[in-house]
Amino acid sequence: MPRGRKGPPQDSVDSILLAISRRDNIDPDTLSHYFERLDEEWTEGARSKVLHLLRTRDATAHAAAVLILSELATGFDREELEDLVADPTVSDMAKLTIAPILKELDSEMADDGLIEYLNDPEAAMQQMQVRLLELVGQSELGVESVLEDVLSMPLERRLGFINWLGSSHDPRAAQLLIPLLENQSGKVVLAAIDAIEQLGAVATQQTIPALNYMVAHTSNRQTKEHARAVLGRLMMHSAPGTQKTLGQENQSKHQLKFYEARVSFIDGVGSQMIMLAWQRSDNMLKGVNVLYQDQWGIKDCYGTDDMDISHWTGVL
């Protein structure tokens, strides 16, 4: 007895892509069905095939890829689209056609950024990386946000970015490199150590203690030996007093301006609230609140990175 079907046969991804590329009279219902099928298979191969169409010289296939991406691409696809823009084998015209999609995905390569990238890709990439360091310098949340992006990168791109952090000679880069010394693959940790050495004396107040900690606590022999060697070279090239002077210069360069301190009255059980605030370059406040009790000492402490001044004036 023949076995019956449980439903209509599913269209294959290849047949859908061929149909969209070769037909210009697809009715809306059929096109909607095609998008649903591609969405189902998006991370299982459909996305890579659509991106492949962007690289072809076939104008109709390329137009089909742009149509599909404009419908299905999400923030999870932004990195691969940006990689395509950075690929020198892809034509400039192909890159320009996906500018609206990049803009929709909040990519820094969209619009003027893409034109700038095409004219001078190396300078544009460096400018984007500098903006990342500016974000890092604003708050701890900026560090966490950039680290999330770095850790989601493919390995080779991640290693390249780590190398750039070292060559930047910007002390803010240490705030990204130090967290990469822990809970990462061996290649990433070794690359971060090399980048710290390349960063040099501009951040030794941060990097030397971090390497000391790594040498004392890591169980990986190769990592320990490499960290110890880099630590020795950093300390050897830091003349007596140089580290302190550089640290003071960097601290004064990036130190926030103190804004205000507030202290509440002591309540009936000996508790008192102490509030300190510093002003950032964007006029937002960074603060710390401490709850102190005369017998227990500090009972609670928490901080905030993004407080509007108007909110501060309404506290206490």
Residue 208 lies in a domain: yes
**pLDDT at site 60:** 83
Contact 203, 163 (CB under 8 A): no
Pair 201, 110 in one domain = no
Residue 131 lies in a domain: no
**Portion of the chain with pLDDT greater than 90, in percent:** 3
Question: What pTM value is reported for the model?
Answer: 0.44
**pLDDT at site 227:** 87
Pair 118, 151 in one domain = no
Q: Residue 225 belongs to what domain range? A: 137-253
Single out the residue in 124, 155, 180 at which a domain terminates: 124
How does DSSP classify residue 23? -
Going by pLDDT thresholds of 50, 70 and 90, the confidence category of residue 1 is: very low
Residue 142 lies in a domain: yes
Using CA atoms, how far apart are residues 41 and 28, in angstroms rounded to an integer? 20
**pLDDT at site 194:** 92
**pLDDT at site 80:** 84
Task: Please list the alpha-helical segments (H only) found in the chain.
Answer: 13-22, 28-40, 46-54, 59-72, 78-86, 92-97, 99-104, 112-119, 121-138, 140-151, 155-167, 174-177, 186-199, 204-217, 221-236, 242-254, 309-313
Pair 155, 113 in one domain = no
Pair 248, 142 in one domain = yes
Between the CA of residue 37 and those of 47, 62, 104, 158, what are the distances in Å?
12, 19, 22, 33
Q: What is the CATH number of the domain that holds 209?
A: 1.25.10.10
**Portion of the chain with pLDDT greater than 70, in percent:** 75
Single out the residue in 100, 124, 148 at which a domain terminates: 124
What is the number of structural domains in the chain? 3
Query: Over the chain, what is the mean pLDDT?
Result: 77
Using CA atoms, how far apart are residues 180 and 114, in angstroms rounded to an integer? 30
Pair 53, 149 in one domain = no
Residue 143 lies in a domain: yes
Pair 248, 269 in one domain = no
Pair 141, 249 in one domain = yes
Using CA atoms, how far apart are residues 60 and 77, in angstroms rounded to an integer? 22
Encode pLDDT of 192-233 as tens digits.
999 998 888 888 888 888 888 888 888 888 888 888 888 888
Single out the residue in 236, 253, 270 at which a domain terminates: 253
Residue 4 lies in a domain: no
Pair 120, 187 in one domain = no
Residue 134, pLDDT above cutoff 60: yes
Using CA atoms, how far apart are residues 177 and 219, in angstroms rounded to an integer? 20
Pair 192, 114 in one domain = no
Encode pLDDT of 144-164 as tens digits.
777 777 777 778 878 888 888
